[in-house]
């Protein structure tokens, strides 16, 4: 049977979390807010607007909407400088064989990301042609853990939520998949992603036989 395979972007397909971190850190420094790699975990899968609010809360800084808008633009401009040189080498290990396997098996593939920069990243890494639907931060109003992004993706592929499989690296994303009644696959650490139905350290640990089983379920 046809299943919908929905991929998160950041932390699943590419490791852009490090670039988001560097860009946010620059803003935080200007505001004299101590912002660590550990704090950065809170921003995974979270929208740009919400990310800024979290950082301001960490630093107990109150700001006008005008200031916030300026920092949001500044952050994205800084982030975009890291994307300029992006190429296929930034695709995380093990991802391409799974995408290719799904294509060969004629399984519908979608992107379900909170990022507004998803399309250029898929283009630069040369994998945009694998995706039958792309749903990103430009298409949704409710951020993960709200299931909106994944529900729109499954609908775009013409597949029922129960027949959708979601690959996610963030807690909010795993929760969104579960709320949507989809099969959640956590990519990362067991202790963070224990709510996921299956958990793998990364894509090199996912065997194609496992994907095959999901297809035939």
Rounded CA-CA distance 55/68 in Å is: 11
Q: Which of residues 39 and 169 has its CB atom nearest to Mg ion in the complex?
A: 169
Which range, of 40-48, 148-156, 184-192, 199-207, touches Mg ion by CB under 5 A? 40-48
How many Cα atoms occupy the beta-carbon half-sphere of 38 within 13 Å? 2
* 154 annotated as ligand-binding: no
Q: Which of residues 105 and 119 has its CB atom nearest to ligand G16 in the complex?
A: 119
Which member of 11, 108, 186, 188 binds Mg ion (CB under 5 A)?
Answer: 11
Structure tokens at 196: 């996921």
* 43 annotated as ligand-binding: yes
* 28 annotated as ligand-binding: no
The single residue of 8, 39, 136, 163 carrying the catalytic annotation is: 8
Which range, of 5-13, 71-79, 144-152, 202-210, touches Mg ion by CB under 5 A? 5-13
164 binds, among Mg ion, ligand G16, none (CB under 5 to 8 A by kind): none
* 89 annotated as ligand-binding: no
Handedness of CA 53, 59, 63, 66 (dihedral sign): negative
Q: Which of residues 3 and 44 has its CB atom nearest to ligand G16 in the complex?
A: 44
Rounded CA-CA distance 91/96 in Å is: 8
H helix intervals, the chain: 17-30, 37-40, 48-58, 65-83, 95-104, 118-124, 148-157, 171-179, 190-193, 208-216
Bridge partners of residue 183, in order along the sequence: 165
Rounded CA-CA distance 18/20 in Å is: 6
What's the closest the beta carbon of residue 43 comes to ligand G16, in angstroms?
5
- Of residues 129 through 188, those in contact with ligand G16 by CB under 6 A are 137, 170
Query: In 3-state terms, what secondary structure has residue 160?
Result: coil
Q: Which of residues 8 and 148 has its CB atom nearest to ligand G16 in the complex?
A: 8
Residue 39 binds to Mg ion (criterion: CB under 5 A) = no
The reply to whether 8 belongs to the active site is: yes
Which member of 25, 107, 113, 178 binds ligand G16 (CB under 6 A)?
Answer: 113
The reply to whether 202 belongs to the active site is: no
Structure tokens at 202: 């990364």
What's the closest the beta carbon of residue 8 comes to Mg ion, in angstroms?
4
Residue 59 binds to ligand G16 (criterion: CB under 6 A) = no
Selection from 39, 43, 35 nearest residue 17 by Cα:
43
Selection from 125, 131, 150, 126 nearest residue 139 by Cα:
150
| φ, ψ for residue 95, nearest 5 deg | -75, -45
| Residues forming the active site | 8, 10
Q: Which residues bind Mg ion (CB under 5 A)?
A: 8, 10-11, 45, 169-170
């Amino acid at each position: 049977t046809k299943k919908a395979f929905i991929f998160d972007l950041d932390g699943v397909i590419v490791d852009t979390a490090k670039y988001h971190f560097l860009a946010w850190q620059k803003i935080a420094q200007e505001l004299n807010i101590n912002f660590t790699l550990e704090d950065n975990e809170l921003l995974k899968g979270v929208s740009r607007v919400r990310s800024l609010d979290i950082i301001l809360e960490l630093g107990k800084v109150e700001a006008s909407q005008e200031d916030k808008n300026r920092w949001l633009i500044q952050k994205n401009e800084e982030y975009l400088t890291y994307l300029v040189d992006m190429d296929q080498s930034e695709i995380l290990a093990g991802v391409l064989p799974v995408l290719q396997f799904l294509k060969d098996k004629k399984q519908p593939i979608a992107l379900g990301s909170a990022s507004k920069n998803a399309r250029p990243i898929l283009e630069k890494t040369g994998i945009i042609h694998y995706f039958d639907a792309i749903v990103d931060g430009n298409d949704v109003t409710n951020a993960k853990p709200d299931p909106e992004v994944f529900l729109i993706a499954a609908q775009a592929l013409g597949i029922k939520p129960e027949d959708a499989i979601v690959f996610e690296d963030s807690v909010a994303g795993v929760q969104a998949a579960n709320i949507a009644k989809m099969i959640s696959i956590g990519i990362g650490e067991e202790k963070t992603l224990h709510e996921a139905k299956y958990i793998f350290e990364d894509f090199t640990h996912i065997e194609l036989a496992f994907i095959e089983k999901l297809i035939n379920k």
